Amino acid sequence: MGGDSAPDIVINGASQSKIRHPNLKFTFVGNKDRISSLISEFPNLQDSGIVHTNEIVSANAKPSVALRSGKNSSMALAINQVKSGLCDAVVSAGNTGALMAMCKIFLRPIDGISRPAIAAYFPTITGESCMLDLGANIDCDANNLVQFSFMGQAFANIIMGIKNPKVSLLNIGEEEQKGLDYIKEASLILSSMEDKINYTGFIEGDKIAHGYSDVIIADGFTGNVALKTAEGTATLVTTYLKKAMTSSLSSKIGYLFSRKAIKNFRQQMDPRKYNGAVFLGLNAIAVKSHGGTDAYGFANAISVAADMVEYKFISDLKEKLSKVNMLSLK
């Protein structure tokens, strides 16, 4: 029931995701009458289950309040479907803070991980990279950043298929003496673990889109600002492009000849394509969809969760983390 246009886009998105993952089976959690009515419109969702509740977590609810009063909310009951083993993953477009708080309490962090982080794909000139944390942890220390680095490395390796992903810390400069103390300390720790991680040093914000690094590490405040700035820039570029192509008769004629290229450009810049942020560091799979997305975007968030289940991400992550003494970094 979370998101600006729920449950319509959630159910429509689930139907769309079955085109890519035909073996998916869904359990929808929320108002049974509304959900049943919508499901009836999609033949490929007739095998879906429904867990009824009228309670929801509001978009502006504080995480602490959601934890205390939202035990029977659609969000809490959906997470408990995963905790109990009835489902393999949870996908929600609801309140991010509440979702992270509930997931952390119900699903618990993996041994050795003190703080789960939000990770997502990031488009680059050369393909894609992943970035974390994107808002779960506003204040971080050096050990948190080191843990994020190993989780990001595992995500890029297992899900993105990058054999030896390059990991960088987001900073205001590439020189060793620049940046806040905890970022410099994290860099020293990662540099001393070169046999366990392919750490390439600092990266500046303007270099992210070049694809110089496969994994970008930041605290939640910095990472979220970087993500939102990139999304805003993408909107700015596409808006300017549209205005330029319709500003004159000659521009409109030029558009006719370049229509296919422009269509490809828009698809590459489409934020819905990258919708689906992962809560890394938990004992189960939880994916956060953007609250304002449409059915296509929500389908992509579901696909992220489905891929993680298919690739056995949790067991592989635990195996990779067991080779590093993460407990010493808690």
pLDDT band at 328 (very low <50, low <70, confident <90, very high): low
Mean pLDDT of 50-63: 94
Domain residue spans of the chain: 8-113+281-317, 119-272
- The answer on pLDDT for 221 being more than 70 is yes
CATH architecture of 8-113+281-317: 3-Layer(aba) Sandwich (3.40)
Task: List all residues 6 or more positions away from 52 whose beta carbon is below 8 Å from its beta carbon.
Answer: 30, 31, 32
The whole-model pTM stands at 0.88
Question: How far apart are the C-alpha atoms of 106 and 285, rounded to whole Å?
Answer: 12
Distances (CA, A) of 194 to 150, 258, 302, 324: 12, 47, 35, 12
User: CA angle at residue 211 from 208 to 213, to 5 degrees?
Assistant: 80
pLDDT at res. 193: 93
pLDDT at res. 80: 97
pLDDT band at 330 (very low <50, low <70, confident <90, very high): low
Choice between 262 and 12, residue whose per-residue pLDDT is larger: 12
Question: How far apart are the C-alpha atoms of 81 and 27, rounded to whole Å?
Answer: 9
User: CA angle at residue 105 from 102 to 106, to 5 degrees?
Assistant: 80
Q: State in words which class domain 119-272 has.
A: alpha beta
Read off the tokens for 33: 């009458």
Q: What are phi and psi of 119, to 5 degrees?
A: -125, 150
pLDDT at res. 276: 84
Instruction: Using the CB atoms, write b or e for 166-193: b if 16+ within 10 Å.
Output: bbbbbbeeeeeeebeebbbbbbebbeee
Q: Write down the mean pLDDT value for the chain.
A: 90
Please give the biggest Cα pair distance in the chain.
66
Domain 8-113+281-317 matches domain 119-272 at the CATH topology level: yes
Residues 76 and 104 sit within 8 Å (Cβ to Cβ): no
- The answer on pLDDT for 327 being more than 60 is no
pLDDT at res. 326: 60
How do residues 115-171 score in pLDDT, each as one tens digit? 999 999 888 888 889 999 998 888 999 999 999 999 999 999 998 889 999 999 999
- How deeply is 95 buried, as exposed, middle or buried, from its count of CB atoms within 10 A (0-12, 13-18, 19+)? buried
Residues 6 and 91 sit within 8 Å (Cβ to Cβ): no
Local structure of 289: helix, strand or coil: coil
Choice between 256 and 299, residue whose per-residue pLDDT is larger: 299
Mean pLDDT of 80-93: 96
